[in-house]
Structures are given as C-alpha cells and as structure tokens.
Amino acid sequence: MTPAATRWPVAVLGATGAVGQAFIRLLDAHPWFDLVEVAASERSAGKSYRDAAKWLEGTMPAAVASLVVKNCTPAEITAPIVFSALDSGVAGEVEPAFARAGRMVLSNAKNYRMDADVPLVIPEVNGDHLGLLEIQRANRGWTGGIVTNANCATTVMAAALAPLHEAFTVTKVFATTMQAVSGAGYPGVPSLDILGNVIPFINDEEPKIETELAKLLGRFDGRTVQYADIVTSAHANRVPVEHGHTVCMSVAFATKPTPEQALEVLRHWTGTEAVRGLPSAPEPSLVVRDEHDRPQPRRDVNRGRGMATTVGRVRADHLFDLRLVAMSHNVVRGAAGGSILNAELLATSGQLVRYLAP
C-alpha cells in the first residue's frame, strides 16, 4: 500500500555514474517515488541527461533522458528525498548541506556510516536503527537527515550472518571477498589489469568491512547503537566478474551450532517484519542453496531482482565453528537498491510524512 497520497518526488546526485544509473533504472516506474531531478558534476550540469551520461546497461528511460542535469546543491535541487551516488571525495560536504536544507539523504558514500548518530541500515537486518534520525536531528540542529547503506561487501556478510548472530551470537569472522569489477565504478579497473587475473587489494575496503559489520549487527537501545562484540579479519580481492560480490567466511560463535542447525535458521529467517511487502523487498531476502558449488554470480546474482542474498556451502570449520559462502548483487543490493529500500522503509514507517512535505 502506498504510504502517501501522492508519489514522492526524488532526485539522484551523481546521476551519470554507474551507481547513479542503477538508481535511475530502479526508480523507473517505481510506485512510490517519482524521479524528477538529476544532478552531477559541473562538467555535466546544463546538459540533457541523454548527452551527459554514457549509458551502461539496458535502455535509458525516456523521461530521464530529457531532464537537464543540475548542480549538486540544495539551491538547485528541490526534491525532498535525495539519493546520493556521490563519490566520498565530494559527499562529505554535499550530503550534510542537503540535510541542513531539510532533505532526506539516502547515501551510498562511506563518509558518515560510522558516525554515532547516523543510521547504517540494511532494512531486513536492523531497520530499527532508523530511530537514530531523531538523535541526529537533535545533535546537528537540522531538519533533514542522512541515512547510509553499508559497504557492498559488508552488506553481503551482514545479510548472511544476521540470522546466525540472532540465534547463536557471532564472535569472530574471517572473510575473503571476491568482488566484481562493477564495484569499482566506470570505467573502473583497466582490462589488462583484471582479465585473467585477481587483484588482492581494494583501497580502503578491508577497514570498512572490519568496522561496519559490528554496527550493522549491533543493538539500538533508543539512544545509540551498542556495537556487536565481533572481531572481523578481511581480505578484499577484485576478480574478473561483472556483477556480484562473493564472500567466503569462517565464523566463530558464543553458542556453537551444527551445520544442520545453522541451515535451519537460515532457511526460516524472514528479517524485519516491516520490510515485507515493500516494493523493492525480495521474497525471500535470503536464499539457501544446497548444491556444493553455489552460490555463483553468473547463476544467482539476479535473484529477487538483484536484491536477494544467496548463501551456500554451510559446513563445519576446523579453525572456527562454521564455514559458509554468501553472494549478492553489489550495484543493486549493495548500493542503489539498498538505498531505495531504506527510503521505502522510512516511508512506510511514517518518517517521511512526519518530517518532509511531499
């Protein structure tokens, strides 16, 4: 059911980049949100979107093609809801400017994820962390707000580990990522560097994984998020896959489960009740595969329209307690789609109606 009498007008910042384009594809014909403005860098401002963007996938929506690209400033953008695909180099200044101007910012950037008063949200996992918005507004004296989604690899891990943490309490995670080239944006990694190769380094990726997981799986007590007591060690690798981040994990628990107990929990997990039925919510959000060689990006990345997380190879671990493999679409679930689902949860919970005027 639509949470407002009319569709909400929204804007996309960083609209010409790969994640910005994903926002545009996912917002096309969205039942609750109407994309009315696009913004990008000064070199694109003033051009039609058709002329400014090098379109990467599918067909550019006709309604967006004719929009004039604006500058990323609250003076030019009037929409009350702003989806930010901005690079962290500019997001740090631009996003709070919109929040001070009374806009709700749904951010993909790393800049504010770990701030104590900023929600870092995967709706099925910790949708209640949106309660931090009240504290954020009081602390910062603005009428808008910033809500962030997690690093794309951390999103895969948190979605897979949340049910197990709830049931058995995760204490340690050793993770190796195999991350798709689309995670580097466009034009991204040079072909001669990645074809037939694995690059065992992604700048700033491992620290994000090692810090964000504890916040995502933490408990909101009405004032702050009490981080989960989890120690994470991560190895981040870029691999020659177009879409889909795969993470191999060894996990220790306070209460050791058998693989059969873990699989039972994973199969029956449904996540936050309020998320079910939202336009972008997959059903189910977590898919368990029994085959010995799944998940695979080529076969599983588009499950749930790219919003589902696929888990497999759940088995005993000789060093910790369990081993498992998880994978999801980094551009959809781990970026644009995750932000849109955050906005849908805000809308259905009444927070958009309460703080913004459509």
Residue 215's closest CA among 195, 235, 229, 202? 229
Residue where the block lists tokens 């689902």:
341
Active site positions, annotated: 152, 245
Q: Give DSSP secondary structure letters for 72-132.
A: SSTTT---SEEEE---HHHHHHHHHHHHHTT-EEEE-SSTTTTSTTS-B--HHHHGGGGGH
Say how far apart CA 234 and CA 244 lie, in whole Å: 18
Q: Which helix (H) or strand (E) holds 245?
A: strand 245-253
Say how far apart CA 121 and CA 215 lie, in whole Å: 9
The bridge status of strand 322-328 relative to strand 231-238 is unpaired
DSSP 275: G
- Grouping H, G, I as helix, E, B as strand and the rest as coil, residue 239 is coil
Say how far apart CA 10 and CA 8 lie, in whole Å: 6
DSSP 217: T
Say how far apart CA 73 and CA 247 lie, in whole Å: 37
- Grouping H, G, I as helix, E, B as strand and the rest as coil, residue 303 is helix
